[in-house]
Structure 1
C-alpha cells in the first residue's frame, strides 16, 4: 500500500496559522491560570541560574547547598527591592504635599497660556476626579496582586520540590537516546535564552539607572535614588520601561523647579541620550548576539504578550518569544515562523555549529567510514 502523499505547503501553513490563533485565544482565556504558572517557571529558572553560578564561580561551594542558597538570595533580593520601593515611596508621597503650591503655579501658567482666565487648583482637580470611586478598584487590584503573588510562590515551591524527578520524567517520556538528547538540547536552549535575557536586562538596566542617577544628582532632583531604582525595575519591561523612565523624572523636575524649565530640559535631553545609546546601540547588539532575536520581533512580542496577559505578559514577552521560537524550529511545518523570528535566519544556531566544525547539523546524519564500521 503506497504511503499517503504529504499535504501541500499552503495547507500546512494554513493549519499552522490557525493553530497559532487558537493557541493565542486559549492563552487569553486561561490567563488567570497560566500567568502565575509562567511567572513561577521564570523564577524557577532564575533560582536555578543562581545555583549554577554559585557552584561554578565560588570555589569549593557545596553542590547540595547551592539550591537552598539560591532560594535565600532570591528572597533577599525581592525583599530588599520591596523595602526600597515602600520606604522611598512613603517619603516621596509625603514630599508631594509640599509641591502643591508649585503644581498650582504650573497649572495657572498652562491655563493662562490656553486662554483660561480662572485656573483650577490641584485640590479642585483631585475632587473632580472623585478619588473615592477609585479606592474600591485600587483595593481590588491590590487584592488580586497579593493573591497572584501567593499563587506564584506556591507554584514556585512545587516546581523546586519536583525538580529532582525531572530527569526521570525525561527518560520515561523519551526512552530512545537520540530523541532524548534532542529534547534535552531544546530545554537547555530555552533555559539559556531565559538566562541571557535576565543577564541582558540586568546589565542594561544598571547602565541606565546609574547614568540616570548621576544626571539627576547633577540637576539636584529630589529622590534621585528612588527614581533610579524605579528606572532599573522598569527596564525589565522592554521598550515601555524606557519610555516611563524617560518622561516621569523631567515632569517632576518641572514641579520641583517651577521658576526655571532648564533642569527639566537638561534632564529630559540627558535621559533621552542615555536611553537612545543603551536601547539602540548596546541592547540590540547584546540581544542579537545572545538571544538571536530580531529587534522588530522584540517590539511585536511586547504588544502581543501584553495584549494576552497584561503587565506580566510584557515582563515575560522576550523569554516567552525565545521559547516559542526554539519550539517552532523543531517542526518542519512551523520552522518558517522560527526563521522569521530569529535575527540571522538560523534559530537553532546550526549554521554556526556546522561552520565551526563541531560535527554535523542535527538534521544531517553522521557519515560512516568506507569500511562499514560504526563510530564508537
Structure 2
C-alpha cells in the first residue's frame, strides 16, 4: 500500500515537471489562450446579464469585445506615448536623482566610489527603452488574445451540451453542477479582482493628478497591474512610485508625503478592507503559496507569468475546493488565519449539536 502511494506521488511529480517544461517551451502560444480564458471567466457574467435583458447574444459578445479592444488599445497607446515622453525627460530625472544621492552621501559621509557604483537609474532606463519598443508586439499579442476570447465566448453556451453528450450516466448531473459551481466562483473572483484593481488604479490616477505627479495615468495603470500580486505587488509599486515622487518634488516635503500617502492608503484600504469583504476569507491564499506561485509562474512565463500567478493559482484552488478528493489541497493553500477561523467556528458549533442530540 505504501509503495503504491509512493509510486503515485513520484508519477505526479514527474508529470508536473513534464507539463511545466512543455508549457515553458510553448509559452508564446499558450499565454494568449490562458489570458483569454481568464478574461472569459470575468466577462461572461456581463454577457449572461445582457442576454437576460433580451439583448441578442451576438450583440452582447460584440459589445464586450469592442469595449475590451478599445480599452486595451487606449492603454497601449497611453503606455507608448508616456514612455516616449518619459524617455525624453529621463536625463533631467537622472540629474536630479544623482544630486539627491550626492546630497545624502555628503550628509552621511558616504565614499564617492559607492556613488559611482549606484546604477539604479541606468537599469530603469534600460527597462524604459524595452517598454517603448514593445508597442507593436503588445498590439499583436493583444489582438491574438481577443481572437481567442471571441471563440471562447461564442462556444461557451454549447459546452454544457457537449459535456452531457460526452458523459452519459448517473454522474452527469453531479458533474454539471460541479462545473457550474466552479465557473461561478472563478468568474466571481476574477470579476471582483478586476473591479478592485481598477478602483485602486483610478484612485491613484486621480490623486496623483491633483498633487501634480508626472505621468499619473501610467502610475494608475501600473497600480492596476501590480494589484494582482497580493502584498508583494503593492510593496513594489509603492516603493518605485515613491522613488520617482522623491526625484520629482525633492526637497519639497508636502507633495512627497501627500502622494505617497495616496498610494499607501489606497493599497491599504482596498487591499486589506474592501477586497477581503467582497471576496471573503475562503478565497485567501497562504503567503507561502503566493511566493511559490510567483516563482513557478515567473519561471514558466517570465514577467507576464508573475502577473498571472495569483489568478491562476486561485483558479486551481477553487477547482480543488469543489472536488471532494482534492479538497485537502485547497485547504492547504489557504491562509492560516482563514483556516483557524473556520476551524474555531466549526468547533463552537459542534458541541451545541451534540448536546441537543444527547438530550
Could you list the per-position Cα deviations for residues 167-214 of structure 1 after superposition, in whole angstroms to 9, with x for gaps in the alignment?
3321222111x4222222332233223222223323322442344345
Aligned to 1:358: none
Give the alignment of 1:1-376 within 5 angstroms. 8-56=4-52, 61-63=53-55, 65-84=56-75, 86-87=77-78, 90=81, 93-94=84-85, 97=88, 100-101=91-92, 103-111=94-102, 113=105, 114-116=110-112, 144-176=137-169, 178-213=170-205, 215-217=207-209, 219-289=211-281, 291=283, 293-294=285-286, 296-328=288-320, 330=323, 332=325, 334-342=326-334
Quote the Cα distance in structure 1 between the aligned partners of 2:125 and 2:246.
25
- 8 A Cα contact 2:200 2:267, kept in partner: yes
Secondary structure at 1:236 match in 2: coil
- Offset of 1:80 from its aligned partner? 3.0
Q: Taking structure 1 as reference, are residues 10 and 283 closer, same or farther at Cα in structure 2, changes over 3 Å only?
A: farther
- Offset of 1:253 from its aligned partner? 2.1
Quote the Cα distance in structure 2 between the aligned partners of 1:28 and 1:96.
32
- How many residues in Structure 1 have an aligned counterpart in Structure 2? 328
- 8 A Cα contact 2:65 2:150, kept in partner: no
Quote the Cα distance in structure 1 between the aligned partners of 2:124 and 2:249.
26
- Offset of 1:105 from its aligned partner? 3.6
- Offset of 1:231 from its aligned partner? 1.9
Structure 1: state its 5+ residue gaps.
356-376
Quote the Cα distance in structure 1 between the aligned partners of 2:171 and 2:73.
44
Could you list the per-position Cα deviations for residues 59-115 of structure 1 after superposition, in whole angstroms to 9, with x for gaps in the alignment?
xx215x145324323422441353255247625743664574464243134246244
- Offset of 1:240 from its aligned partner? 4.8
Q: Taking structure 1 as reference, are residues 331 and 31 closer, same or farther at Cα in structure 2, changes over 3 Å only?
A: farther
Q: Taking structure 1 as reference, are residues 18 and 143 closer, same or farther at Cα in structure 2, changes over 3 Å only?
A: same
Aligned to 2:357: none
- 8 A Cα contact 2:285 2:334, kept in partner: yes
Secondary structure at 2:171 match in 1: helix
Structure 2: state its 5+ residue gaps.
350-359
TM-score, L = length of structure 2? 0.72
- 8 A Cα contact 2:225 2:307, kept in partner: no
Secondary structure at 1:20 match in 2: helix
- 8 A Cα contact 1:27 1:34, kept in partner: yes
Q: Taking structure 1 as reference, are residues 147 and 213 closer, same or farther at Cα in structure 2, changes over 3 Å only?
A: closer
Q: Taking structure 1 as reference, are residues 162 and 216 closer, same or farther at Cα in structure 2, changes over 3 Å only?
A: closer
- 8 A Cα contact 2:72 2:142, kept in partner: no
- 8 A Cα contact 1:247 1:268, kept in partner: no
TM-score, L = length of structure 1? 0.70
- Offset of 1:246 from its aligned partner? 1.2
Quote the Cα distance in structure 1 between the aligned partners of 2:125 and 2:152.
44
- 8 A Cα contact 2:205 2:217, kept in partner: yes
- 8 A Cα contact 1:40 1:153, kept in partner: yes
Q: Taking structure 1 as reference, are residues 151 and 111 closer, same or farther at Cα in structure 2, changes over 3 Å only?
A: same
- 8 A Cα contact 1:284 1:295, kept in partner: no
